[in-house]
Amino acid sequence: MNLHEYQGKDILSSFGVRIQRGYVAKNANEAVAAAKQLTAETGTGWHVIKAQVHAGGRGKGGGVKLAKNLKEVEEIAGQIIGMQLITPQTSAEGKKVHQVLVAEDVYYPGASETKEFYVSVLLNRGTGRNMIMYSTEGGMDIETVAEETPHLIFTEEIDPATGILPFQARRIAFNLGLEGTAFKEMTKFVTNLYTAYVKSDASLFEINPVLKTSDDKIMAVDAKVTIDDNSLFRHKDYLDLRDLREESAIEVEAGALGLNYVDLEGNVGCMVNGAGLAMATMDLIKQAGGEPANFLDVGGTADAARVEAAFRIILKDPAVKAILINIFGGIVRCDRVAQGVIDAYKNMGNIDVPIIVRLQGTNADIAKKLIDDSGLDVMSATEFQEAADKVQSVLA
């Protein structure tokens, strides 16, 4: 589950990580009230207005702007809320902005220069350990840093038995070129950040930039936080943080029906049981010259109700030109699936794309006969290659 910047910052703050403070606003009036509140609490005269959408690169797309007085807060908030924000990380049509974070300006001048860093916490799947990835090159795309100046990216692996140790926090602060107060602040920052990552069951914390202010405070200016969905049962309070407006509507609907569905760009809809077979089926479609329109794992119980739900989801995608149903009847018998397909097809009434059904496993022969005798416009196949050839022929 991905969080908005303001939600991620709330979590960080609750674990003692210093953040750029702010309040979320849904319209220009609320933004002005938030700005006044921040001025009262922090003394800041300037504010940053930040679009809250699940995408990075907002600054580049005009979704992060500095306001130097309340009139500008009102104007900029009014302009950003409701806009379609296009950033390097969104699709071409962009994302609608429903709310902004009104934050204190933390780039104020002072005794020393401000400096931006990059710090993230994530799982290194190779070693099975969490690691802190960090760089002196904050504020820019980490992908670009990795490509052009990879020697400026450092990693610190953490032993799960001990957690982050003081010498590791000091090494990070040292490699980032800090000294004095800023050095101490950074050790506290990364230690609390790591603890927050573990305790919140996150799978990603990406803080870019981490700012050293002109008075040597270290704080999170941005926060990209992903919580591991499998941990949500023990974080009931995080469930409310989910913003369905940020997710693909069709994926949300499929999820509610208990289907594992991922929307893709292609033209062949897939209905498969089991994630591994679903992946192999997508390869098969590509080999046959098509492009999968989706990943869809209907799970173990491919009965008529589920098959019908899957049909409805697949057919919501107007790009679909054919549907390949590829079911292995191990636990579920093929003849039951075939009957499910026939019932669902009849029930739907208006399927106007060709359907190729490959059923293999227990009672596959009975299933094939059921499909062939059904009188419906459904092609059956028993072999993988045969199914691929049929997909190819209907796409031609």
Binding residue numbers for substrate: 273, 330-332
Q: What angle do CA 345, 347, 353 make, to 5 degrees?
A: 35
By a kind-dependent CB cut-off of 5 to 8 A, residue 66 interacts, out of Mn ion, ligand GDP, none, with ligand GDP
Binding characters for Mn ion, 86-125, by CB under 5 A (x = yes) = ----------------------------------------
Compute the least distance from the CB of residue 139 to Mn ion, in Å. Answer: 7
Q: Which stretch binds Mn ion (CB under 5 A): 13-21, 45-53, 204-212, 244-252?
A: 204-212
Binding residues: 50, 57-59, 106, 116, 208, 222, 273, 330-332
Q: Are strands 322-329 and 294-297 parallel, antiparallel or unpaired?
A: unpaired
| Cβ proximity of 348 and 311 under 8 Å | yes
| Cβ proximity of 40 and 74 under 8 Å | no
* Catalytic choice (5, 6, 104, 118): 118
Compute the least distance from the CB of residue 174 to ligand GDP, in Å. Answer: 24
DSSP string across 78-133: HHHTT-EE--TTS-TT-EE---EEEEE------SS--EEEEEEEEEETTTTEEEEE
What is the SS3 assignment for 312? helix
Whole-number Å distance between alpha carbons of 396 and 256: 35
Binding site for ligand GDP (CB under 6 A): 48, 50, 56-59, 64, 66, 105-107, 139, 208-209, 221-222
Binding characters for Mn ion, 219-258, by CB under 5 A (x = yes) = ---x------------------------------------
Q: Cβ closer to Mn ion: 50 or 358? A: 50
Q: Which stretch binds Mn ion (CB under 5 A): 20-28, 149-157, 203-211, 317-325?
A: 203-211
By a kind-dependent CB cut-off of 5 to 8 A, residue 4 interacts, out of Mn ion, ligand GDP, none, with none
Number of residues that bind Mn ion (CB under 5 A): 2
Q: Cβ closer to ligand GDP: 64 or 86? A: 64
Binding residues for ATP: 50, 57-59, 106, 116
Compute the least distance from the CB of residue 208 to Mn ion, in Å. Answer: 4
- Is 206 one of the catalytic residues? yes
* Catalytic choice (137, 206, 261, 308): 206
For residues 313, 314, 317 and 318, what is the CA-based torsion angle, rounded to 10 degrees?
-120
Q: Cβ closer to ligand GDP: 56 or 340? A: 56
Tally: H helices and E strands in the chain = 12, 18
By a kind-dependent CB cut-off of 5 to 8 A, residue 105 interacts, out of ligand GDP, Mn ion, none, with ligand GDP
Whole-number Å distance between alpha carbons of 22 and 339: 57
CA 366 to chain centre: 43
By a kind-dependent CB cut-off of 5 to 8 A, residue 45 interacts, out of ligand GDP, Mn ion, none, with none
- Is 118 one of the catalytic residues? yes
What is the SS3 assignment for 341? helix
H helical segments located in the chain: 5-14, 28-42, 70-80, 142-148, 166-175, 180-199, 249-256, 275-287, 304-315, 334-348, 364-373, 384-395
Residue 208 as a binder of Mn ion (CB under 5 A): the answer is: yes
CA 61 to chain centre: 19
For residue 365, give the DSSP letter: H
Q: Which stretch binds Mn ion (CB under 5 A): 31-39, 158-166, 218-226, 323-331?
A: 218-226
Catalytic residues: 118, 206
